[in-house]
Amino acid sequence: MRLTFKTIAGPAATMLLATSMAFGYDAPPATITTLSFSPSASVPQLSAASAVVTVTAGGSPVTSGTVKLFQTKTAGVPGSCATQNGHAEVQPPLTAVFNAGTFTFDLAAAGLTLNTGTFGFIAEFSDPGTYGKSESACLDLTVTTGDSNVGTCPTGQNATISATFVDSPGFPLPGSYTWHLLISVHACKNLTAVSAQGGKNAWTGASYGAPSQGTVALRKATGGNNEVSIWTIGSMNTGNTVTLPVTVTGTIKPKTACGTVLGLLGSWSALSTSIEFGSQKSEYSGTSTVTVGPESCI
């Protein structure tokens, strides 16, 4: 085989070189992503809070793109920026409201102000081909215990419900594990006919300890190892909190990818009746999850 090379000289070569540079080497504009919280980085439990993400390119707001919100993990469960040893996208993924380079996430609506503590968040911006990718620095949101009639109770609500980890194996590898959680119902008014219901994830087994008030029973089995249980509580006075311990067992299958987020317990809700608001269902507790290890995914 004989290869023939032709040399281009003069203006044509100059044009070819310029065209190659223009179309082959221009990188998308670099971006800067900044995260803040509204109304502040410290809010009462169950109060309104938003994550506000501002993205600029060359000092001007971006006109397109998407932002993902990540929550930092400490030993596999949500933790602060200082103690984090991993992070995972908030589940279920949140949808931001976009306006002139600003992406706003409603944290309260997603159940991210249900539990007290300090939790780190990271925002990641991307718009392939249009802008360069960037992420914010980690920023802590502190959720504090507020007044029982105001800070922990959204306006117009009979009751609130949350699910928190008591202890948890951090970043579990494939194998069998046990997790302990606590479901809590808080009365915002004097209540009657209080109950809570929710389910477990199909891949886990859940057993319930003795509740601080009331009884727990299976409501229905929906097939595929899915079950819905009901916790009958009864009457509660304003400011009271009742709890239900939950033990979850499960086996993580071999070859499950590092960083996979697994649901341990489904969302729960509370039903109750008050003189002020009548019969009402609370907001959901949010899904309890764990992240498959090891701590640093390679």
| 215-268 tens-digit pLDDT | 999 887 665 667 889 999 999 999 888 989 999 898 999 989 888 888 888 889
pLDDT tens readout for residues 178-221 = 888 888 898 999 999 999 999 888 888 888 999 999 999 988 76
Helix/strand/coil for 16: helix
Q: How far is CA 123 from the centre of its chain?
A: 12
List phi, psi (to 5°) of 200.
-105, 170
Residue 245 covered by a domain: yes
Residue with tokens 């727990």: 216
The number of angstroms, rounded, from the C-alpha of 5 to the middle of its chain's C-alpha atoms is 59
One domain, residues 67 and 175? no
Assess whether pLDDT exceeds 80 at residue 135. Answer: yes
Task: Decide: 185 and 230 in contact? Cβ < 8 Å.
Answer: no
| CATH code, 226 | 2.60.40.1510
Please tell me whether residues 177 and 283 are part of one structural domain: yes
**Which of 113, 144, 175 is the endpoint of a domain?**
144
Residue 2 covered by a domain: no
Q: Higher pLDDT residue, 225 or 12?
A: 225
Do both 134 and 164 map to the same domain? no
Q: Of 6-20, 28-42, 242-256, which has the strongest mean pLDDT?
A: 242-256
| Element of type H or E holding 34 | strand 32-38
In this structure, is residue 94 part of a structural domain? yes
CA atoms within 13 A on the CB side of 154: 17
The string of pLDDT tens digits covering residues 62-105 is 999 999 998 888 777 888 888 877 777 887 778 888 888 899 99
Q: SS3 letters for 157-198? A: CCEEEEEEEEECCCCCCCEEEEEEEEEEEEECCCEEEEEEEE
Q: Are residues 182 and 66 in the same domain?
A: no
Residue of 66, 141, 146 whose CA lies nearest to 110: 141
In a domain, 203, yes or no: yes
| Residue 204 identity | T
Closest CA to 291 of 165, 152, 104, 205: 165
Asked if omega into 39 is within 30° of 0 (cis), the reply is yes
Q: What angle do CA 73, 184, 242 make, to 5 degrees?
A: 155
Query: Which are the contacts of 151, defined by CB distance < 8 A and separation ≥ 6?
Result: 44, 45, 46, 47, 144, 145
Indicate yes or no: pTM above 0.75.
no
What was the pLDDT predicted at 289? 79
Question: Does 197 lie in the same domain as 100?
Answer: no
- pLDDT (0 to 100) of residue 173: 86
Question: Domain check: are 133 and 203 in the same one?
Answer: no
Query: Per the domain annotation, does 59 fall within a domain?
Result: yes
Same domain, residue pair 163 and 258: yes
Residue type, position 112, single letter: L
Domain boundary among 115, 144, 173: 144
Tens digits of residue pLDDT in 137-152: 888 888 876 543 333 5
Same domain, 94 and 54: yes
If asked whether residues 244 and 285 sit together in one domain, one would say yes
CATH assignment of the domain containing 135: 2.60.40.10
CA distance 165 to 144: 17
111 and 216 share a domain? no
Domain count, the chain: 2
pLDDT of amino acid 180? 84
To which residue do tokens 């209540």 refer? 191
Whether residues 238 and 281 fall in one domain: yes
Residue 20 falls inside a structural domain: no
- Which of the two residues, 110 and 171, has the higher pLDDT score? 110
Per-residue pLDDT at 137: 82
Whether 204 contacts 287, CB under 8 Å: no
> Is there a cis peptide before residue 92, judged by omega within 30 degrees of 0?
yes
Q: How far apart are CA 78 and CA 15, in angstroms?
A: 56
User: Could you tell me which residue, 32 or 44, shows the higher pLDDT?
Assistant: 32
Rounded to whole angstroms, the Cα distance separating 269 from 89 reads: 23
Q: What is the pLDDT of residue 151?
A: 37
Q: Among the listed ranges 23-27, 71-75, 108-112, 142-146, which one has the minimum average pLDDT value?
A: 23-27
> Could you tell me the CA-to-CA distances from 264 to 187, 211, 287 in Å, in that order?
26, 19, 7
pLDDT digits (tens, 9 = 90+) for 261-297: 888 888 899 999 999 999 999 988 877 777 787 756 6
The answer on 278 and 168 residing in a single domain is yes
**18 occurs within a structural domain:** no
Range of the domain at 171: 159-291
| Nearest CA among 209, 122, 112 for reference residue 166 | 209
Residue 152 lies in a domain: no
d(CA 239, CA 290): 31
The residue ranking higher by pLDDT, 128 or 13, is 128
Tokens 């309104």 correspond to: 48
Q: Which of these three, 144, 177, 200, is where a domain ends?
A: 144
The confidence score (pLDDT) of residue 297 equals 67
